[in-house]
Structure 1
Amino acid sequence: MANKTFIISAPGKVILHGEHAVVHGKVALAVSLNLKTYLRIRPCSDQRVQLNLPNIDVHLSWKSAALQFLLTAIDADVLNPKAASQEQMEQLRRFAGIPEGSTDAMSLSILCFLYLYGAISASSRQLPNVDILVWSELPTGAGLGSSAAYCVCLAAALLAASGTIACPAPLEKGITRWNEDDLELINKWAFQGEKLIHGNPSGVDNAVGTWGGVLRYHAGKITPLSRVPTLRILLTNTKVLRSTKVLVARVKDKLNKLPNIIKPVLDSIDAISCECERILAEIASGNAVDEHYTVLEELIDINQQHLNVIGVGHSSLDRLCQATAAYGLHSKLTGAGGGGCGLTLLRPDTSPSVVEASKRALKDFGYDCWETNIGGSGVSLHSPSSLQKDIFQVLCDVRNCQ
């Protein structure tokens, strides 16, 4: 694959149910989002390695000889991924000219690339000359798994370029998927990238980016659901910044102060996740009826109220819920809360006029809003013909990577 051009995608994620309760041992459901990160990898003929991330204005080019130090600096086994050491990170920072303590998206993305590139190449003792361009539909810092999608795409591309994983067999519509063993390896390397970016991530985001669909997360165990329907949603970014760390601490503080009140709320959120899992299996089995969507809507409403009770709501999210309720739709926050993003369930028969009216109302608040799907496939390899025209144009336009 190192001598060809390939395009890889990985989805973002949303939490359907179980936010915050999962921290206290309850079930959460994470689901893939049909907003994706795309990576184009192609060979470089002039002994260079190029990294272009136009979303965050990164355009870097190194002579391959300058990167040879990675083969000795990073002692790694490509089949047994491990995290970067502090010493390795300091060496990568010095090479890239990144100040100690920098945690901006640009710096972390560069460090993540350098580590994965060096570590995955270490076993073969050869650095591939590649030109990598990454472009994303996912906003950064919105809790939608943008960094994990980046890591998954990088891991898949670099493993393929090194010859560690093979080109998967063609599937329908010009989109192919790797086999289960290859997906396991992609996920393990993506997790190492996520640890570099986030320190101590759960592993849910990169797992969703790898396998897609719906994942059940409980007590540190991640289980893909075998039967998953694709659901329509509106995804809304209130653009209100929040701190996940502060919100998690707020819930813990409430639980400690009022255990007899908050514990039953968390138990109820757990029950919501489990009931949602059951309903999704029914829909995926072809038994979808209006009653199932009514239950999903009720679960969304109840969970949103619970999240307000445990202290992670926000006026921006209240406005979102009220605006969509005016059109008969049901919404909840997704992720940490305190602002951030929310999702709105759309039934299969929700009319386009209702969707457009809801989007206009949300945009009037200054929110960003997308109509999209959840529950789709994970990391995939694309032929150019399988891509939407605008995405293909971005990935092919050399002006975007200079």
Structure 2
Amino acid sequence: MLSEVLLVSAPGKVILHGEHAVVHGKVALAVALNLRTFLRLQPHSNGKVGLNLPNIGIKRAWVVAKLQMLDTSFLKQGDVTALTPEQVEKLKEVAGFPEDCADHEHLAVLSFLYLYLSICQSQRALPSLDVTVWSELPTGAGLGSSAAYSVCLAAALLTACEEIPNPLKDGEAASRPPALKILLINTKVPRSTKALVAGVRSRLLKFPEIVAPLLTSIDAISLECERVLGEMAAAPAPEHYLVLEELIDMNQHHLNALGVGHASLDRLCQVTMAYGLHSKLTGAGGGGCGITLLRPDLEQPEVEAMKQALTSCGFDCWETSIGAPGVSIHTAASLDAPVRQALDGL
């Protein structure tokens, strides 16, 4: 078991192209979003294991000796299968949930306990440690906050238990396209992914000769975008951005034809188009989030004016990038001050 503090992060994600079409066997392009979830793992010797999730107001601790006495044979490593309802109930007993605990709190704590007990049982004794997780990602927006949380937990615990090497010590460079600057916009309109997916399926069954070609066309858009991004990895050029903008416009129209648009997303596209920029929904649609491609030649005052116009519509905006690094382990000095303060509980 490592004795030093571990600092881990994982990116969120956006669907660049292919949402809904992917449900029907077509290609989707998911890209790493440079809004990240950060984790701090602090080993200690106080006989407790603690979990602090300031974004959702969770702070829990368990006595290691009591956890050590549990029958965790059902968590033994090997072929991973889904837990049975009975095993989930057993984990809930370990967690000691109050009756009024919300579902997202249940899942966050259960994920931690499952990974802690599964991974750390390889040690002679369960370790005492504190884990704090803080995220730049909004929850429930379809941006991969749950996946980033789980990846951070798994990477930190596996590294701390020396089940995988520390990537600060071992690693190799990977070729990737240049990061693309985007504006990520949350319309804050709630939607049901299940209902939207069902709606597309219903439309496909009702109009197969119309909707099937739409899905095939979205597939072609995804493949063309992948090709362009591959070219940009070698030598990005202004004409690449023009193609990416055309693909964004075409895909947005296709998604509207599938019935997953929304008035808020139409408004988003109108506002950004007034500044000569191109936008589309990302994820399930029906509200939720959209993305706007920011060309390299764009002046910052224009970006700020557009952000103000979007904010006045009631939307939240983040100026960020896609094509970000995946799960990473950091030195403390490499983290921005706000991230360090959040992880230190200040």
Alpha-carbon displacement from aligned partner over 1:34-56 (angstroms, at most 9, x marks no partner): 00000000112211100000000
AA at the equivalent of 1:380: S
Q: Which consecutive unaligned segments of at least 5 residues does structure 1 have? A: 171-176, 181-212, 214-225
Spell out the pairing of 1:244-283 with structure 2 (5 A cutoff). Answer: 244-283=193-232
Aligned to 1:168: 167
Aligned to 2:23: 23
Cα distance, 1:396–1:98 mapped onto 2, change above 3 Å: closer
Q: Whole-Å Cα distance in 2 between the matches of residues 338 and 280 of structure 1?
A: 27
Q: Whole-Å Cα distance in 2 between the matches of residues 33 and 348 of structure 1?
A: 18
- One of 388, 392, 400 as aligned partner of 2:340: 392
Shift of 1:100: 9.0
Q: Whole-Å Cα distance in 1 between the matches of residues 129 and 80 of structure 2?
A: 22
Aligned to 1:236: 185
Q: Whole-Å Cα distance in 2 between the matches of residues 113 and 70 of structure 1?
A: 16
Spell out the pairing of 1:28-177 with structure 2 (5 A cutoff). Answer: 28-70=28-70, 72-77=72-77, 80-98=79-97, 104-170=103-169
Q: Whole-Å Cα distance in 2 between the matches of residues 326 and 306 of structure 1?
A: 21
Q: Say which SS state the counterpart of residue 304 (structure 1) adopts.
A: helix
Cα distance, 1:122–1:275 mapped onto 2, change above 3 Å: same
Query: Residues 71 and 122 of structure 1 are in contact (CA less than 8 Å); yes or no, is this contact kept in structure 2?
Result: no
Query: Residues 6 and 160 of structure 2 are in contact (CA less than 8 Å); yes or no, is this contact kept in structure 1?
Result: no
Q: TM-score, normalised by structure 1?
A: 0.82
Shift of 1:164: 1.1
Shift of 1:6: 1.2
Q: Which consecutive unaligned segments of at least 5 residues does structure 2 have? A: none
Q: Whole-Å Cα distance in 2 between the matches of residues 227 and 10 of structure 1?
A: 17
Q: Say which SS state the counterpart of residue 300 (structure 1) adopts.
A: helix
Work out the percentage of aligned pairs sharing the same amino acid: 60
Cα distance, 1:334–1:389 mapped onto 2, change above 3 Å: same
- One of 274, 288, 292 as aligned partner of 1:326: 274
Q: Say which SS state the counterpart of residue 282 (structure 1) adopts.
A: helix
Alpha-carbon displacement from aligned partner over 1:308-348 (angstroms, at most 9, x marks no partner): 00000000100100000000000000000000000000111
Shift of 1:274: 0.3
Q: Whole-Å Cα distance in 2 between the matches of residues 71 and 231 of structure 1?
A: 49
Aligned to 2:246: 298
AA at the equivalent of 1:88: Q
Q: Whole-Å Cα distance in 1 between the matches of residues 172 and 76 of structure 2?
A: 23
Cα distance, 1:69–1:91 mapped onto 2, change above 3 Å: farther
CA RMSD of aligned residues (A): 2.0
Spell out the pairing of 1:148-227 with structure 2 (5 A cutoff). Answer: 148-170=147-169, 227=176
Shift of 1:125: 5.0
> Any runs of at least 4 consecutive aligned residues in structure 1 with deviations exceeding 6 A, and if so which?
99-103
Shift of 1:350: 1.1
Query: Residues 50 and 129 of structure 2 are in contact (CA less than 8 Å); yes or no, is this contact kept in structure 1?
Result: yes
Query: Residues 334 and 341 of structure 1 are in contact (CA less than 8 Å); yes or no, is this contact kept in structure 2?
Result: yes
AA at the equivalent of 2:19: E
Alpha-carbon displacement from aligned partner over 1:267-288 (angstroms, at most 9, x marks no partner): 11000000000100111111x2
Q: Whole-Å Cα distance in 2 between the matches of residues 70 and 310 of structure 1?
A: 51
Alpha-carbon displacement from aligned partner over 1:340-376 (angstroms, at most 9, x marks no partner): 0000001111110111111001100111100001001
Question: How many corresponding residue pairs?
Answer: 346
Range moving further from structure 2, 97-106 or 145-154:
97-106
Q: Say which SS state the counterpart of residue 72 (structure 2) adopts.
A: helix
Q: Whole-Å Cα distance in 2 between the matches of residues 106 and 267 of structure 1?
A: 40
Aligned to 1:221: none
Cα distance, 1:69–1:350 mapped onto 2, change above 3 Å: farther
Alpha-carbon displacement from aligned partner over 1:189-221 (angstroms, at most 9, x marks no partner): xxxxxxxxxxxxxxxxxxxxxxxx9xxxxxxxx
Query: Residues 8 and 38 of structure 2 are in contact (CA less than 8 Å); yes or no, is this contact kept in structure 1?
Result: yes
